[in-house]
Amino acid sequence: MGLTLIEKILANHSKHAVVKPGQIIDVSMDVRAARDFGGANVVKNLKDNGLAIDDPTKTFFTFDCNPTGSDQKYAVNQHICRQFARENGIKVYDIDQGIGTHILMYDGLAFSGSTAVTTDSHANILGAVGAFGQGMGDQDIAAAWAHGKLWFKVPASIKVMLVGKRPEGLSAKDIAINLLDRFGANDLLGYSVELYGKSVDDFTLDERITIASMGTEMGVITLLFPPNQLVLDFCSERAGRTIKPVFADADALYENTFELNIEEFQKRVSLPGAPHHTATITSLEKTRIDSAFVGSCTNGRYEDMAIVAKILSKRKVAPGVVMKIVPATDEIWQTCLKEGFIDIFKNAGALVSNAGCAGCAAGQVGQNGAGEVTVSTGNRNFPGKQGKGDVYLASPAVVAASAVAGYITTPDNIPDEPMIFTAQLHSGAKTPPIVNASGPLAKNTQEKSVEVEGRVWYIHQDNIDTDMIFHNRYLAITDIREMGQYTFDNLNGYQDFAKKAGKGDIVIVQKNFGSGSSRQQAVDCFLSLGVHCVLAESFGAIYERNAINAAFPIITYSSLDELEIREGDTIRVNYETGKVSSLKNNKTIQAEPFSEVQLEIFKRGGLF
């Protein structure tokens, strides 16, 4: 039996000729990168554990979260990274360069068949060129810098076939949102997805990047495009050598194959709160907006900028609407300047910022306020992710047209006169509560018993993302003693969790816990409070790795119905056997026990 694309890439970077789903292997990484918000913690992990750099030529810093240098804590973190880079001969793609994952492709560092890890949870965007990219937490990245390889569980593969002729005007963002509408945030969770079809073969690199980027929102490990000749030519030119493509074998085994008719895809928008909650553009027309954002790793490419420039040419942004545009890389920014796009943007009344992630990072261009309605080309619209307001996700064409109209619309329905802004009252943002952490001061102070008992917090909710667990406004915090007080303060109904949680409590949630960002703090905040463990039906892939590496126990279950658990009950959990028991009724169910790797890391007190 042949290998799928992910299996072939991982096998080529391991000691194994053949790998299978579920197998845990060591994978060598061609590229190991850290961003500005996570870089300082990577440096801290290396120094605290006396680790050296395996290969500086494969090791990079990318400063894309705060390219404006507008935050003092980010400035400190960036300076720590720059000093470490000078001392160790590491290249820094500084604040003038743009989004790191894009730079890896544009500098010829990521290409068909290559591997890369970075602290960016959208590293699977590299699937656009047929590369395996993975976002990971600070400990994982430090280990990769020190050893050049990481343990990894080979994911099962799914093939998605897009059949039929692509409808006129259907953008790559529309395709991504249609896939989210079909699969949601859970159906593809933990899989490697390969995309095929005649229309797929014709996708440009920019379009592949848009769709691959939003694979994170579908919960996939990676969304891989077999490279076409245009992509191979691009990669070869950027790498300065001929890149040989890596494809899946003809007899590769997939866990499932889905055939979707692209002719049935519609122009769609993601509704505020979750990328996979979508609606057709026609059902949302005339929805009033306050602001518009074009950018992010999903839609900050040249083709996106060209579409926006065409729509904004000789037009003005509607009165009362704020429009912000952020190209993904400085190369794209410079091209926009040469082709006159910047003049068009400015003459239309838009704000143009230097290249970077922008709206996805707290405090940066693209954030909104409480009560504000934004239409955005970003990839996430979780509560609080891009600010305190409501965020609709849409294509660059829809965002530009809506900015001119003053409400959500399409380019062929822009009115002669925009909707005029009228005064309205918005409720102000609440100040986050400041409470005292009540847990241990460091990860390794927890008693390493494989069986624990604790009071239950039962949160009946799917898709609790890392911004709900530990919001991005606290990302500059590196001291674990400070983290516990902010746990769940962005999760509706649980903002007071940190005040009420006790040492030894157990948290139970549902599907896809920890989706979203790669931030380690979303794990460490529970360690700070002294929480015993988290039980879930499934975990976000990066979150799962972060928890295992930090020796924070997480357990996956299929159903807890038999236990008849209620909030406040006491249960017993055995990590080694997977047994979960209710002390109220003495009933027991079988959950998934720790893997050998998880148990070893747990007993050792962490990856290091």
Mean pLDDT on 465-475? 91
Let me know: does 405 contact 419? Beta carbons within 8 Å.
yes
pLDDT digits (tens, 9 = 90+) for 381-438: 888 777 788 999 999 999 999 999 999 999 999 998 888 766 654 444 444 443 333 3
pLDDT digits (tens, 9 = 90+) for 26-44: 999 999 999 887 899 999 9
> What pLDDT does 370 receive?
85
Across the chain, mean pLDDT equals 92
pLDDT digits (tens, 9 = 90+) for 265-301: 999 999 998 899 999 999 998 899 999 999 998 999 9
d(CA 68, CA 168): 38
Mean pLDDT on 102-122? 95
Least confident of 78-82, 313-317, 364-368, 527-531: 364-368
Q: What percent of the chain has pLDDT over 70?
A: 95
> What pLDDT does 422 receive?
66
What are φ and ψ of residue 352, in 5° steps?
-115, 125
Rounded-to-5 percentages of helix, strand, coil across the chain: 35, 20, 45
pLDDT band at 16 (very low <50, low <70, confident <90, very high): very high
Q: What percent of the chain has pLDDT over 90?
A: 82
> What pLDDT does 44 receive?
94
d(CA 523, CA 544): 9
Whether 444 has a pLDDT exceeding 70, the answer reads no
HSE (side-chain half, CA atoms, 13 Å) at 548: 23
107: helix, coil or strand?
Answer: coil
Mean pLDDT on 558-564? 94
Tokens 């704020």 appear where? 322
Whether 367 has a pLDDT exceeding 90, the answer reads no
> What pLDDT does 364 receive?
75
Domains of the chain: 5-264 (3.30.499.10), 268-413 (3.30.499.10), 443-604 (3.20.19.10)
